[in-house]
Amino acid sequence: MIHFDRVTFRYEDRAVLDDVGFDVPEGEFCLLVGTTGAGKSTLLRCVNGLVPHFTGGTMSGAITVAGRSVRASTPADLADVVGYVAQDPLAGFVTDDVELELAYTAEQLGVPRDAMRKRVTEIVDLLGLADVRGRALAALSSGQRQRVAIGAALVAGPSALVLDEPTSALDPGAADEVLSALHRLVHDLGVTVLLAEHRLERVVQYADSALLLQGGRVRAGSLGEVLAGAPVAPPVVRLG
């Protein structure tokens, strides 16, 4: 589903990604691990074309999502293939209302009104947003906002969802709600999820595989293989 082939990316003369290659299969929940400043956000933004189309920099190699070339497409072209959720959902919202926010992407893609209404209702049910559907975004809790952001990314029907530390500002209860919703997306709908997170103890129970980004290189493998040598592994891994 997500394929990197010898991808190198530089900002001016500083290499952030160096000859990176990996595959995330369809319908898999993959955890991206790395220290602060390792380049996790850059790698995630490569998946939907924000890097390099909007960030600048120099890239080589090939990236494909569902067989579509990312380098030959803009983020708008890829909206129906890959959804992206940034760290701060409130900063990325473009409306003030939950239902309008969920419908916004579908409106931009020209989805017919009846189909749009059906998609929004399906996402509201899937993510447990029925009780906040008519509320203002500013009145929601952090966990509810994060679920709305995920829903907004799903309206276009993407095959892959990329998330940058979605639980970093959430309490344990809200974080579990968000991660449970992502788990349902993977196992009920077959959506491929690539997620970067620092609080690994929250995520490992949901993930199927992991990528370790260190020194610009990526090591792919099972959770056990990657976390055993990861510099940011949960304390329980070191205890084990």
Q: Which of 94, 190, 174 is nearest to 140 (CA)?
A: 174
Dist. CA 106–CA 117, nearest whole Å: 10
pLDDT of residue 47: 96
48: CATH: 3.40.50.300
The beta strand positions in 86-191, using DSSP E, are 160-164
Report the interhelical angle of 172-189 vs 142-154 (nearest 10°): 20
pLDDT of residue 157: 86
**Number of structural domains, the chain?**
1
Give the residue numbers spanning the domain of 234. 2-239
Q: Which residue type occupies 233? A: A
Q: What is the pTM of this model?
A: 0.91
Distances 115 to 110, 128, 134, 164 between C-alpha atoms, Å: 10, 20, 19, 29
Using DSSP's 3-state secondary structure scheme, residue 198 falls into coil
pLDDT single digits (tens) 150-197: 999 998 889 999 999 998 878 888 888 889 989 989 988 899 999 999
Using DSSP's 3-state secondary structure scheme, residue 190 falls into coil
Burial class (CB in 10 A: 0-12, 13-18, 19+), 238: exposed
**DSSP line for 60-95:** EEEEEETTEESTTS-TTTTTTTEEEE-S-HHHH--S
pLDDT under 50: residue ranges of the chain: none
Distances 179 to 31, 77, 116 between C-alpha atoms, Å: 12, 27, 25
pLDDT of residue 237: 66
